[in-house]
Amino acid sequence: MRPRQVLSRGPLVAALVVAALTVAGCSSTPELQGVVRADPLEVGDVTLPDVTAEGRRGGGLVEDGRLVMRAAADDRLLLVYFGFLNCPDVCPTTLADLRSALARLDAAQRERVDLAFVTVDPDRDGPEELAAYLPHFAPRHHALRAEGVELDAALDAFLASASVEVADDGSVDVAHSALLYAVDADGRVVVEWPFGTSADALADDLTVLLARGAAA
């Protein structure tokens, strides 16, 4: 009898495993709509003074009165935004979109997201002003206020920029980059949302990131 040529089962099983893993890898990684860089920014060493009003403080990591730029746990996210309270358009638009995005999440998801607002205009944005402004967008949050090199170092870590110029007539011109950042528990910026990202896109990305964190 002529022997029948057969493949051993080992390679066949290995091929099926490779195929399954590849297909699973393709289908189980939803694309984020924000900017995701191959080499994420590392901001976990940055800390800033937390001046949040009593009873309003979010669930972020606060050590010695300073918020650490890391999510407080693997299944949480820290969102960071650099802005100022007299901003007429970009800041309130971004924060309103974030508020809408958070409203699209369920309560358990929402509870795992902390917002840190870093004022780039600390001379005018004091703790009282921040306390009056931020609850309109996030009932619980972290109001961060630093000046000079300390603020500059935080901006640099996020590749962000800001400048405040006071004219002779006393008018104040503030310029700042307008991204919203999501930071994980390792202090990595896992996504950066440019100004103009819709509330729906934010909500979709937050849902994906929270699911990843919970699975970690």
Partner 1 sequence: MSRGWRLVIAATVVLVAAAIAVPFLTSGETYEVVFAAGTDDAADQGAVFASLPHRRAGDVVWLELEPGDALLVRNEDDVVHQVAGVAARPGESVLHVFRERGVFSDECSLDLTVFVEVGRRD
Site string for partner 1, 149-168 (x = CB under 8 A): ----------x---------
Binding status of residue 211 toward partner 1 by CB under 8 A: no
Single out the residue of 124, 196, 211, 216 in contact with partner 1 (rule: CB under 8 A).
196
Binding status of residue 94 toward partner 1 by CB under 8 A: no
Cβ-based neighbours of 179, under 8 Å, separated by 6 or more? 81, 158, 160, 192, 193, 194, 195
CA distance 113 to 187: 15
For residue 48, give the nearest of 137, 117, 139 by alpha carbon: 117
For 113, the token pair is 């997201």
Rounded to the nearest whole angstrom, what is the least distance from the CB of residue 155 to partner 1 in the complex?
11
Single out the residue of 72, 164, 201, 214 in contact with partner 1 (rule: CB under 8 A).
201
Single out the residue of 132, 153, 166, 175 in contact with partner 1 (rule: CB under 8 A).
175
DSSP state of 136: G
Binding status of residue 35 toward partner 1 by CB under 8 A: yes
For 150, the token pair is 């300390």
